[in-house]
A and B are shown apart, each in its own frame.
Chain A
Amino acid sequence: MTVFDELRFRNLQANTRRHFLKNCTMGMGALAMGMLTGCAKADLVTNESVRFTSGRTLSHYAARAKRVIYMHMAGSPSQLELFDYKPTLNRLHDELCPQSLLEGKKFAFISGVPKMLGHQATFAQYGQSGTWISNHLPYFQEVADEVCVLKAMHTDEFNHAPAQLLLYSGSPRLGRPSIGSWVTYGLGSENEDLPGFVILVSGGKTPSAGKSVWGNGFLPSVYQGVQCRSQGDPVLYLSNPDGMDRNLRKKSIDAINDINRQEYEMVGDPEIITRISQYEMAFKMQMSVPEAMDIHKEPAYIHDMYGTRPGEASFANNCLLARRMAEKGVRFIQLFHWGWDSHGAGKAEALNHGFMDRCREVDQPMTALIKDLKQRGLLADTLLIWGGEFGRTPMMENRGGATNPFVGRDHHTDAFTMWMAGGGVKGGMSYGETDEIGYYGIQDQVHVHDLQATLLHCLGLNHEKLTYRFQGRDFRLTDVSGHVLKEILS
């Protein structure tokens, strides 16, 4: 008998009937617990998939908006150059930042004692509401009375990726479903030929947090966002390969779906249902998407209005596409524009260079989008949201304690500006206020969770009731926070 055999033998001797019973009871308990808490319980999920395909509503109350167009300025535009006018900040320009503002604070790049930076813009009031807008947005000034400006936004994260995740999934870590997924999960799609959740990216880069900002997380994957491109094939690999016509494609998809259906009846995995509906959706999209994405047929005055040039991957084209999708009943249209991270470390990201280019790129199309939706009667039931993932500091960035070659501001979590318009939100309103240098919100602060709650509320969803059970607990977009901003609802 070797030493190992002996060890095994001893071990077997030590494992008595009592051990068996003891382990058994605990094990059975764990199994029962798992069933009670609903882990890996397939039928719940299946019902959801079925619900999606049948298109039933889950609105908790009558919706103010039927769809959302969310314009995200990745990198985060400076609120102090666009909306938040602080004369005191101009007076303090070039003075050293007082220690009291720096104590206990974490910045992405600022170190030591930075200087205050006055507005790199001029401001005036516009519209009957007297909304403050800077000279960088000359077009936008015309629609001042249509938008509700949220001036005291704040977030918890000071780096792009986690801040974007927090904004879109309610958590700074990966793995939660994005807002668009929650919304399509809750309301389904209004158009059976187009995805309910569409992403349009411009500016050359996807957001720092990657595709997770339109991911479905633990929701069934039918709810994930579909990225459409305004240049080249609208959706990658959507067109048929050479030598395959539409009839043949239809037949092969039918055959695959038949097999999948048999498989589903056998194992009951809800992801198979998802796969079947995705095949069917993809087939329909081969017809519907090129049609929806083709802006050539738009009349010339519309192109003038938006400043679009067909064939480009521009924000203007995406705004026009967003309107077309809104008309076709797409539920959640997410626009990403990139390059707003105005640190001042290089020319492209300087407040006095790249930032102004970004403003020019978005100003005309986003204004045109508001006007065009309005004249078509769509603004009343489309909710528009515009903003970045956080704000920028009233101090000039001094990367590593040295002066940057260009003028810029660092990331700032405590105060930034976003605007909303249409779909049940009051127009011509400024909500919230920051202190005299725009460092902290001092009145009517809005956390990103409050924004999420309000967005869902406008769509007729109660953010506390829109839940999904995963790993034994009910998850929701706003997790345990979020207040609906009733004051801004019309």
Chain B
Amino acid sequence: MDLLDWFGRFHPALVHFPIGILVVGVIMQFIAYRKPTLNLDKAVSNLYLIGFVAAFVAAFAGWMLAQEGGYQADTIFWHRWLGILMVVLAFGLYWNSRKNEVNHKTMRWGGIALVLGLMYTGHLGGEMTHGPEYLLESAPDFVKKLASYEEGANYTVLSDPDSVRIYDDLLRPVLETKCWTCHDDNLTKGGLNMSSEEMLLEGGRNGSVIEGTAEESEIFKRVTMDPARRKYMPPKGTPLSYQEVKLLEWWIETGASFDKRVTGVEVPENIQAILLARHELDTKPKTFLEKTKVELVPEEVMMSIAAEGFSIKPIAMNSNFVDVQWKGIDSLSVDKAAAALAEASTQIAWLDMGNANLSDAGMMHLSKLENLVRLKVDNNPVTDAGVKHLENLKHLESLNLYSTKISDISADYLTGLKSLKKLFVWQTDFGSDAAEKLQSSIPGLEVVQGYTFAQPAQ
């Protein structure tokens, strides 16, 4: 049997000779019609005979080669049976050409069919050895366009994480091209069929291939072991890339589920990078402002806030949240002006009232701005009592209180602000102890207390 396997490997070497001979045969047959005086009939007949015998040998070798497996199922199916059909056709033409009463019509159409058939069968063979994109890769642009071939389009662009399923959209395409050639309905090597979800979970002859963790799972072990080992998968063809291995690992670790979506699980940072690179899929967790939708601020509200001495504008084209800055010159009326902000209480996301002579009375109005994310009230006569007004601003991420009159007491009012990431308290009486206390109750909070100048040690 080994000897036959070896013989199979000669298929690519043997296959070109009969193709050449048979094509020459058809050409000569057509010349013979035009120039009967040349007496080519005998030669044509002999060419078909030689072509048939050579084709038979080549097809036999091909059959042996196909036994080894590892080819795309439908391509090998068509290549195999079309090849055999060509052998039969060659014999038919030979047989017909030897008759005394040659049926010219049959011969003519048979010849044409043979040439076309050889071309297509040969193309399928080439596709299997060189890969399906071999011809188009270096084709001129207009050909690529005709074949709607896209450069480097070996991955799909997925835009919306909500609709992307981990298995179906990310992993299955990988398994389909790299594993299914030997592990599908047609060829179930090792008893493993990966083309259906139930069969994949069922595993192969030696039991399940997917366990709780990637490292215990046979499927993961096989694709990550030393490629020189006999058990390494895939035994031939392109191995799984690093990214693909990582995706497989991630899929197993998240429970090897067939219906989980990317948004349903936590995406680790390395997988985020892979998804971005392979599928242009941005899986970074959306910020509060990206997730939340609010009503548009009415034009007249915009006008009335602006009339109080603020500049007000959307934070971005596609967002209804607004960025508000104090521009007023009349710093005596600032506390009163702040009352106007309540009209856009849900939409104000960023507020800058730094250096505005804002006092605790004005801070009171800010307590209504429920979706405030960034607040700057630095360089103001604000005290701890003013900070107390902020204690319910759950979405506050950045709070600038530098150069105000606050003290350690403010820490107590801020402990509930779990979203807070940055707190600026330079030039205040807010001490290091209060900062530490606050940091212990809000994980991830950075308290910036300022720097003192120091000459670096040389």
CB distance from B205 to the nearest CB of A (A): 43
State whether B276 touches A61 (Cβ < 8 A): no
A56 at the B interface (CB under 8 A): yes
B317 at the A interface (CB under 8 A): yes
The total of chain B residues at the interface (CB under 8 A) is 33
State whether B448 touches A62 (Cβ < 8 A): no
The 0/1 profile, CB within 8 Å of A marked 1, for residues 299-330 of chain B is 00000000000010111111101000100000
CB distance from B171 to the nearest CB of A (A): 23
State whether A62 touches B273 (Cβ < 8 A): no
Within 8 A of A (CB), among B258-282: 273, 276, 282
Chain A residues, CB < 8 A from B318? 60-61
A215 at the B interface (CB under 8 A): no
Given the known interface contacts A57-B314, A376-B426, A377-B378, the answer about A62 and B290 at a Cβ–Cβ threshold of 8 Å is yes
Most buried by A among B287, B314, B450, B456: B456
A460-B282 Cα distance, complex, nearest whole Å:
17
The 0/1 profile, CB within 8 Å of B marked 1, for residues 291-320 of chain A is 000000000010011000000000000000
CB distance from B452 to the nearest CB of A (A): 8
The 0/1 profile, CB within 8 Å of B marked 1, for residues 321-348 of chain A is 0000000010000000000000000000
State whether A375 touches B315 (Cβ < 8 A): no
CB distance from B267 to the nearest CB of A (A): 14
| Other-chain residue from A62, A138, A371, A487 in contact with B451 (beta carbon distance below 8 A) | A371
A376-B426 Cα distance, complex, nearest whole Å:
7
Which residue of chain B has the shortest Cβ distance to A57 in the bound complex? Answer: B313
State whether B317 touches A58 (Cβ < 8 A): yes
The 0/1 profile, CB within 8 Å of A marked 1, for residues 14-34 of chain B is 000000000000000000000
Chain B residues, CB < 8 A from A376? 378, 400, 402, 424, 426
A57-B350 Cα distance, complex, nearest whole Å:
15
A61-B450 Cα distance, complex, nearest whole Å:
31
State whether B458 touches A377 (Cβ < 8 A): no
Which residue of chain A has the shortest Cβ distance to B424 in the bound complex? Answer: A377
A139 at the B interface (CB under 8 A): yes
State whether A62 touches B315 (Cβ < 8 A): yes
A61-B287 Cα distance, complex, nearest whole Å:
12
A304-B455 Cα distance, complex, nearest whole Å:
10
Chain B residues, CB < 8 A from A61? 316-318
Chain A residues, CB < 8 A from B313? 55-57
The total of chain A residues at the interface (CB under 8 A) is 29
State whether A374 touches B448 (Cβ < 8 A): yes
State whether B402 touches A141 (Cβ < 8 A): no
State whether B276 touches A486 (Cβ < 8 A): yes
State whether B315 touches A63 (Cβ < 8 A): yes
B410 at the A interface (CB under 8 A): no
B435 at the A interface (CB under 8 A): no
State whether B456 touches A139 (Cβ < 8 A): yes
Within 8 A of A (CB), among B352-381: 376, 378
| Other-chain residue from A305, A372, A380 in contact with B398 (beta carbon distance below 8 A) | A380
| Other-chain residue from B276, B287, B376, B457 in contact with A377 (beta carbon distance below 8 A) | B376
Given the known interface contacts A375-B402, A376-B424, A377-B400, the answer about A460 and B453 at a Cβ–Cβ threshold of 8 Å is no
A142 at the B interface (CB under 8 A): yes
Given the known interface contacts A62-B316, A486-B276, A487-B273, the answer about A380 and B422 at a Cβ–Cβ threshold of 8 Å is yes
Chain B residues, CB < 8 A from A305? 451, 453
Within 8 A of B (CB), among A27-70: 55-63
A375-B321 Cα distance, complex, nearest whole Å:
27
A479-B180 Cα distance, complex, nearest whole Å:
44
Chain A residues, CB < 8 A from B315? 59, 62-63, 460
| Other-chain residue from B282, B319, B321, B456 in contact with A141 (beta carbon distance below 8 A) | B456
A26-B173 Cα distance, complex, nearest whole Å:
55
Within 8 A of B (CB), among A100-144: 138-139, 141-142
State whether A59 touches B422 (Cβ < 8 A): no
| Other-chain residue from B289, B319, B456 in contact with A142 (beta carbon distance below 8 A) | B456
State whether A60 touches B424 (Cβ < 8 A): no
A156 at the B interface (CB under 8 A): no
Most buried by B among A305, A372, A377, A380: A377
Chain A residues, CB < 8 A from B282? 486
Which residue of chain B has the shortest Cβ distance to A304 in the bound complex? Answer: B453
Chain B residues, CB < 8 A from A375? 402, 424, 426, 448-451
A117-B314 Cα distance, complex, nearest whole Å:
53
Which residue of chain B has the shortest Cβ distance to A142 in the bound complex? Answer: B456
State whether B311 touches A59 (Cβ < 8 A): no
Which residue of chain A has the shortest Cβ distance to B323 in the bound complex? Answer: A57
A374-B425 Cα distance, complex, nearest whole Å:
11
| Other-chain residue from B319, B376, B457 in contact with A62 (beta carbon distance below 8 A) | B319
CB distance from B123 to the nearest CB of A (A): 36
A486-B282 Cα distance, complex, nearest whole Å:
10
Chain A residues, CB < 8 A from B456? 138-139, 141-142
Additional pairs, 11, CB under 8 Å, beyond known A138-B457, A368-B453? A59-B317, A60-B318, A62-B290, A63-B315, A63-B316, A138-B456, A141-B456, A190-B325, A329-B325, A380-B422, A460-B315
Provide 11 A-B residue pairs closer than 8 Å at the C-beta atoms, listed in order of the A residue. Answer: A57-B316, A60-B317, A62-B321, A138-B457, A141-B456, A301-B453, A371-B451, A376-B424, A377-B422, A377-B424, A380-B398
